[in-house]
């Protein structure tokens, strides 16, 4: 059995590797495309934050995928069937993610894993073993996510373009808008990340000190302080950038000044700082959410091996499994992530920091709203929709529709293809192991 566990752990690492190369690249694609950060910087930042999010907060999604998609009660009498099924899930989703990544296509790892679970469950126990309501929600999410994200991105960018970028003195306008941008940024991302970060502190204060603190007070206080701090720092940086630009415009003697003139203007440089911060939040949130796609089958198999029964409710995820998923994600991002980063950041539209910031903000807002509605969503779908929304405001002719057709085709076939692959692998495994 030890050999089996090692083999399954290797498969889980393989899925995490491909997830890192494909899905994680979405978090930094727009930042690289807009030149807010270099590819090397993006890989380092996303690697650290994805790993941290995966290890600290990756257990909840892992529990859901391990126990909710296929009805575990139906496998109670034959836990070995579930072991083989979850192994084929890892193999099928990993293969599809690798194929998509090799072509630079951003797809949903969540959809791949859910499709694979549905595929083996159908072959093993029939259509009744599948939670069809979950499949229906995925379909709804696939349709709504890019539309919602595109609409929000178009709204954000149109307002920034009108009130800041197209004004006679955009520096002055940006200075007035900085408090609102800071509040908007930290408000949207804070709702996603801060409650998870501050909940342990809230619990400690309540249990150890006896403070009666509502769950939302600490995130609210933290977000307020952060927004004020970001505003003050941004004002100072904008003033320094403005002075630097004036100095460069007055000096034409040195070739260095000509080099500086090729850099983004102060407005775009400051938006690059905001965009980098937004990308950091996306990477952290993504790591805490999507690592479950890679390690949930492994967690279920380890549970069966340890207890001899199938997991029917919340299970404790061993720390080593979370670390395995985190390391796999970072490895895939570092080695192979640049393909999907290039597609998101450069092959759909031309991005600047201001437009990339709007696309990322729309992505996070969409994920948050969909989560509140209970809809399963895809970071890939949301971010592509956000980029297209910005393109519609810029100029519809700037959108590379050939690239979008390839992405849409990959989205359409992810669930059924993963299901077919998993079902095929399961039938083959049945011959040898059941």
Determine the pLDDT at residue 378.
75
Most confidently modeled range among 85-99, 115-129, 401-415: 85-99
Label residues 10-42 b or e (16+ Cβ within 10 Å = b): ebbbbbbbbbbbbbbbbbbbbbbbbbbbeeeeb
7-34 average pLDDT score: 80
35-60 average pLDDT score: 74
256-279 average pLDDT score: 64
Determine the pLDDT at residue 313.
66
Contact 340, 103 (CB under 8 A): no
CA–CA gap between residue 204 and residue 214 (Å, rounded):
13
What percent of the chain clears pLDDT 70, i.e. is strictly above it?
72
Determine the pLDDT at residue 62.
57
**pLDDT range class, residue 364, cuts 50, 70, 90:** confident
Determine the pLDDT at residue 434.
61
CA–CA gap between residue 81 and residue 395 (Å, rounded):
53
pTM of the model: 0.75
**pLDDT range class, residue 260, cuts 50, 70, 90:** very low
Top-confidence residue, 418 or 274: 418
Top-confidence residue, 144 or 138: 144
Q: What's the mean per-residue pLDDT of the chain?
A: 76
**pLDDT range class, residue 251, cuts 50, 70, 90:** very low
Q: Of the candidates 67, 32, 27, which has an alpha carbon nearest to the alpha carbon of residue 51?
A: 27
- The HSE-up count of residue 343 (CA atoms within 13 Å, CB side) is 28
**pLDDT range class, residue 421, cuts 50, 70, 90:** very high
Inform me whether the pLDDT recorded for 420 exceeds 90.
yes
Which range (283-292, 311-320, 345-354) has the least confidence?
283-292
Query: SS3 letters for 5-37?
Result: HHHHHHHHHHHHHHHHHHCCHHHHHHHHHCCCC
pLDDT in tens, 176-232: 888 888 877 777 766 655 555 555 555 555 555 555 555 445 555 555 566 566 667
Helix (H, G, I), strand (E, B) or coil at 104: coil
Contact 299, 315 (CB under 8 A): yes
Determine the pLDDT at residue 404.
86
**pLDDT range class, residue 259, cuts 50, 70, 90:** very low
Which range (58-67, 247-256, 332-341) has the least confidence?
247-256
**pLDDT range class, residue 147, cuts 50, 70, 90:** very high
């Amino acid at each position: 059995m030890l050999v089996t566990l090692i083999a399954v752990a290797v498969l889980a690492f393989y899925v995490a590797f491909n997830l890192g190369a494909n899905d994680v690249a979405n978090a930094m694609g727009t930042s690289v495309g807009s030149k807010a950060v270099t590819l090397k910087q993006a890989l380092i930042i996303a690697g650290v934050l994805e790993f941290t999010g995966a290890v600290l907060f990756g257990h909840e999604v892992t529990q859901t995928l391990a126990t909710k998609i296929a009805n575990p009660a139906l496998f109670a009498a034959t836990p070995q069937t579930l072991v083989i099924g979850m192994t084929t899930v890892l193999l099928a989703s990993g293969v599809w993610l690798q194929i998509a990544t090799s072509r630079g296509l951003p797809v949903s790892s969540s959809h791949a894993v859910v499709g694979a679970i549905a595929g083996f469950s159908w072959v093993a126990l029939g259509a009744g073993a599948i939670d069809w309501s979950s499949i229906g929600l995925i379909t709804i999410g696939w349709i709504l996510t890019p539309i919602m994200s595109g609409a929000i991105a178009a709204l954000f960018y149109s307002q920034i373009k009108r009130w800041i970028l197209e004004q006679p003195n955009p520096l002055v306008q940006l200075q007035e808008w900085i408090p609102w941008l800071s509040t908007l940024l930290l408000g949207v991302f804070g709702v996603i990340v801060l409650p998870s970060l501050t909940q342990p502190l809230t619990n400690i204060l309540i249990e150890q000190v006896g403070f009666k603190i509502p769950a939302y007070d600490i995130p609210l206080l933290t977000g307020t302080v952060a927004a004020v701090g970001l505003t003050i720092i941004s004002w100072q940086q904008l003033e320094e950038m403005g002075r630097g630009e004036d100095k460069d415009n007055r000096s034409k003697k040195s070739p260095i000044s000509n080099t500086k003139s090729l850099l983004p203007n102060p407005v775009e440089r400051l938006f690059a700082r905001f965009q980098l911060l937004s990308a950091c939040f996306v990477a952290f949130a993504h790591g805490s959410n999507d690592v479950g796609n890679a390690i949930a089958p492994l967690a279920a198999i380890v549970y069966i091996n340890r207890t001899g029964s199938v997991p029917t409710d919340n299970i404790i995820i061993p720390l080593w499994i979370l670390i395995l998923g985190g390391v796999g994600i970072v490895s895939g991002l570092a080695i192979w992530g640049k393909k999907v980063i290039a597609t998101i950041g450069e092959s759909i539209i031309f991005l600047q920091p201001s437009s990339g910031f709007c696309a990322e903000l729309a992505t996070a807002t969409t994920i948050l709203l969909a989560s509140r509605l209970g809809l399963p969503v895809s970071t890939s779908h949301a971010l592509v929709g956000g980029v297209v929304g910005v393109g519609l405001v810029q100029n519809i002719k700037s959108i590379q529709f050939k690239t979008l057709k390839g992405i849409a085709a990959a989205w359409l076939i992810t669930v059924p293809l993963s299901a077919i692959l998993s079902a095929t692998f399961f039938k083959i495994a049945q011959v040898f192991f059941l």
